Amino acid sequence: MSSPLPPRARWPRTRRPLAALAPAALALTALVALPGAARAQAGAASARVAAPRIPHTKFTLPNGLTVVTHEDHSAPVATVSVHYKVGSKHEKPGRTGFAHLFEHIMFEGSQNVPEGSFDKYLESAGANNNGTTDNDRTLYYESMPSNALETALWLESDRLGFLLPTLDQKKLDGQRDIVKNERRLRVDNQPFGSRFEVVSAAIYPAGHPYSWPVIGSMRDLSDATLDDVKDFFRTYYTPNNTVLVVAGDIDPAKVRQQVTRYFGDIPRGPALTRPKIAPVTLAAEKRLVLEDSKARLPQIAFTWPSVGIRSNDDAPLTALSRVLTQDRTSRLTKLLVYDRQLATNVGAFQGSNEDVGEFTINVTPRPGASLTEIERLVDSVVTGLVAAPPTAAEVERYKNFFAVSTITGLQSVFGKATTLGESELYFGDPEHFRKDLTDALAVTPADVHRVARQYLSKGRIVLSMVPAGQLTLVSKPDLPYVNVTPKPAVQ
Amino acid sequence: MAPHTTLRAALLLTAFALPLSAQQAPRVTKDGPARPAAQPPRTSGLDRSKPPTLPPTPQLRVPVIETRTLSNGITVAVLENHEIPVVNVRALMDAPAVLDPQGKEGVAALTFAMLSEGTKTRTAEQLADAFAELGTTVSPTGFLTITKNVDPALELMRDQLWEPSFPQAALDRIRANQVANLRRLKDQPTYLAGRVLANALYGTGHPYERSTSEASLGAITRDDLVAFHSTYVRPQNVKFVVAGDITPAQAMEKLERVFGKWPAGGQKARYEVPAPTPLAQTTIYLFDRPSSTQSVIYAASTGPRRDVPEYYALDLANTVLGGSFLSRLNSNLRETHGYAYGAGSGFTYRRRPEIGQFTASAQVQTDKTDSSVVEIMNELRGIAGGRPVTQAEFDLAMSNAVKGLPLAFETVSQIAGAATTILQDSLPLDYYSTISQKYEAVTVADVNAAAKRYIDPGKLAIVIVGDRKQIEQKLRALNVAPVVVVDEQAKPLPASGGGSGR
pLDDT level of residue A48 (50, 70, 90 thresholds): low
Asked whether residue A282 carries a pLDDT value surpassing 50, the answer given is yes
Is residue B220 within 8 Å of B106, Cβ to Cβ? Answer: yes
Residue ranges of B 194-233 with Cβ closer than 8 A to chain A? 194
What gap in Å lies between CA A59 and CA A79, rounded to an integer? 18
List C-alpha distances in Å: A379 to A320, A373, B16.
Answer: 15, 10, 52
**DSSP single-letter state for residue B321:** I
Alpha-helical (H) ranges within B60-163 are: 107-114, 124-134, 150-162
- Top pLDDT among A129 and A52 is at A129
Find, among A222, A269, A265, the residue nearest to A85 by Cα: A269
- Nearest Cβ partner for A151 among B51, B60, B359: B51
Q: What is the DSSP string of A105-159?
A: HTTS-BTTB-TTHHHHHHHHTT-EEEEEE-SS-EEEEEEEEGGGHHHHHHHHHHH
CB atoms within 10 A of CB B83: 25
What residues contact B249, with CB distance under 8 A and at least 6 apart? none
Specify whether the CB–CB gap between B12 and B408 falls below 8 A.
Answer: yes
Interface mutation target, options B403, B463, B500, chain A, most CBs of A under 10 Å:
B403
pLDDT at position B3, please?
28
Q: Closest by alpha carbon to A197, among A457, A430, A463?
A: A463
Cα distances (angstroms) measured from residue A338 to each of A302, A385, B252: 20, 20, 38
**Residue-wise DSSP of B322-334:** IISTTSHHHIIII
Strand A138-145 versus strand A242-248 pairing type: unpaired
Q: If pLDDT is split at 50, 70 and 90, which confidence band does A436 have?
A: confident
Q: What pLDDT, in 10s, does the model give residues A122-170? A: 999 999 999 999 999 999 999 999 999 999 999 999 999 999 999 999 9
Q: Does B148 touch chain A (CB under 8 A)?
A: yes
Contact list in A for residue B343 (CB cut-off 8 A) is 3, 5
For chain B, residues with pLDDT lower than 50 are: 1-43, 497-502
Q: Give residue-wise pLDDT tens across range A399-420.
A: 888 888 878 888 899 999 999 9
- How big is chain B by its Cα radius of gyration, in Å? 26
CB–CB contact B294 A364 (8 Å): no
Choose the closest CB to B291 out of A3, A182, A294: A294
Confidence category of residue A13, pLDDT binned at 50, 70, 90: very low
Cross-chain CB nearest to A154 (options B31, B52, B147): B52
Q: E-strand spans in A342-410?
A: 343-352, 357-365
DSSP A282: -
Instruction: Name the strand (E) or helix (H) holding B287.
Output: strand B283-288
Residue A471 sits at φ, ψ, to 5 deg, of -70, -15
Quick one: pLDDT band at residue A440, thresholds 50, 70, 90? confident
Contact across the interface for B33 and A147, Cβ inside 8 Å: no
Nearest to A341 among B176, B323, B359 (CB): B176
- The reply to whether residue B34 touches residue A59, judged by beta carbons under 8 angstroms, is no
Contact B65, B79 (CB under 8 A): yes
Distance (Å, rounded) from C-alpha B486 to C-alpha B492? Answer: 4
Q: What is the pLDDT of residue A438?
A: 84
Encode burial over B98-125: b for 16+ CB neighbours within 10 A, e otherwise: bbbeeebbbbbbbbbbbbbbbbeebebe
Indicate the pLDDT class of residue A461, thresholds 50, 70 and 90.
Answer: very high
The DSSP H or E segment spanning A440 is: helix A432-441
What pLDDT, on the 0 to 100 scale, is given for residue B496?
A: 58
Specify the pLDDT at position A35. Answer: 39
Query: Distance (Å) from the C-alpha of residue A458 to the closest C-alpha of chain B?
Result: 32
Give the pLDDT band of residue A49 (cuts 50, 70, 90): low
Portion 58-77 of B in contact with A at CB < 8 A: 58-61
A170 contact B CB<8A: no
Task: Determine the Cα–Cα distance for residues B292 and B466; give it in Å rounded to an integer.
Answer: 6
Look at the alpha carbons of B426, B86, A408, A150 in this order and tell me if their dihedral is positive or negative: negative
pLDDT at A46: 53
Tell me what pLDDT residue A275 has: 84
Among the residues of B145-284, which ranges form H helices? Answer: 150-162, 168-185, 189-202, 214-219, 222-232, 248-259
- Cα–Cα nearest to A149, from A61, A62, A243, A262: A262
B395 with A124: Cβ contact below 8 A:
yes
The DSSP code sequence of B430-471 is THHHHHHHHHHT--HHHHHHHHHHH--TTS-EEEEEE-HHHH
- Measured from the Cβ of residue A148, the count of other Cβ atoms closer than 10 Å reads 27
Q: Which of residues 14-73 of A touch B (CB under 8 A)?
A: 32-39, 42, 46-47, 49, 53, 55-59, 71, 73
Query: What's chain A's length in residues?
Result: 491
Which CB contacts under 8 angstroms, 24+ apart, belong to A336-343?
A336/A363, A336/A374, A336/A377, A336/A378, A337/B177, A338/B173, A340/A377, A341/A366, A341/B173, A341/B176, A342/A366, A342/A369, A342/A370, A342/A373, A342/A374, A342/A377, A343/A369, A343/A374
Please state the φ and ψ torsions of residue A318, each to the nearest 5 degrees.
-65, -45
Test mutation, B5, B28, B30, B145, chain A, max A CBs within 10 A: B28
- ∠ CA(A105), CA(A106), CA(A109), 5° rounding? 90
Which residues in chain B have Cβ-Cβ distances shorter than 8 Å to A249?
58
Residue A103 among the catalytic residues: yes
Which pLDDT does position A305 carry in this prediction?
Answer: 98
Within 10 angstroms of residue B437's Cβ, the number of other Cβ atoms is 10
Strands A286-292 and A482-483: parallel
User: Is A309:A354 a contact under the CB 8 Å cutoff?
Assistant: yes
Assessment of whether the complete model's pTM goes beyond 0.85: yes
Kind and range of the H or E element at A82?
A: strand A77-84
Residue A398 has pLDDT above 90, yes or no: no
CB B390 within 8 A of CB B48: no
Cα distance between residue B39 and residue B37, in whole Å? 6
What pLDDT score does B494 carry?
Answer: 87
What is the maximum alpha-carbon separation in chain B?
A: 81
pLDDT of the residue at A10: 30
Q: Which of B85, B180, B293 is closest, CB to CB, to A367?
A: B180
Q: Minimal Cα–Cα distance from A157 to chain B, Å?
A: 9
Q: Assess contact for A186 and A9: CB atoms under 8 A.
A: no
